[in-house]
Structure 1
């Protein structure tokens, strides 16, 4: 019985170097977030924006370096499901904040 050799091109190529790069980036982003909060260099709104940006970058680092989701042919469904999950999460979060803001504004108007 002949065995055919198949290549797993849809499988991500995992290396120790890739994990180390992801780890270093995650640590740097975490330290930067803690420094922003503890140093008190930014105002409340600026601090929130910078923390949100650093958090978004850290999510991308984790997805790329640790979950190995990319745009290769074998990973397209994973990438599309991740984008769908993020989109629906944003719709739920933004919708909830919008409703709570409107309820607060209407209750304070009376």
Structure 2
């Protein structure tokens, strides 16, 4: 029988940092949407970019995607799933916009 010792940090510093970053990104997106004079398309692009960054932070900080034996494979699967979702969404928007 193998005895593995697991180190547990009593204070979850990475989770607190991830939480604070998520809150800061949310408030930044709200500020961009409410307080700036940017065009509607620019606001949408910036809010989606901030949402993507926040999702990545949550995947790595809270869901521990890169940890474990198959961390590299999990990240690769996440990127391939994101690519498929992007192709489906972009294709759907293209088809719906080009119909007569």
Q: Output the aligned Cα RMSD.
A: 2.1
User: Would you say how many aligned residue pairs link Structure 1 and Structure 2?
Assistant: 97
Which residue in the other structure is 1:59 paired with?
Answer: 55
The offset of 1:70, in angstroms, is 2.0
Partners of 1:18 and 1:65 within 8 A in 2 = yes
Can you list the C-alpha shifts for 1:71-103, whole angstroms capped at 9, x where unaligned?
775312221221121011001000000101111
User: C-alpha distance in 1, partners of 2:81/2:63?
Assistant: 15
Gaps of 5+ in 2: none
Provide TM-score, normalisation by structure 1: 0.77
Larger RCO: 1 or 2 (CA < 8 Å, sep 6+): 1
Provide TM-score, normalisation by structure 2: 0.84
Instruction: Tell me which structure has the larger Cα radius of gyration.
Output: 1
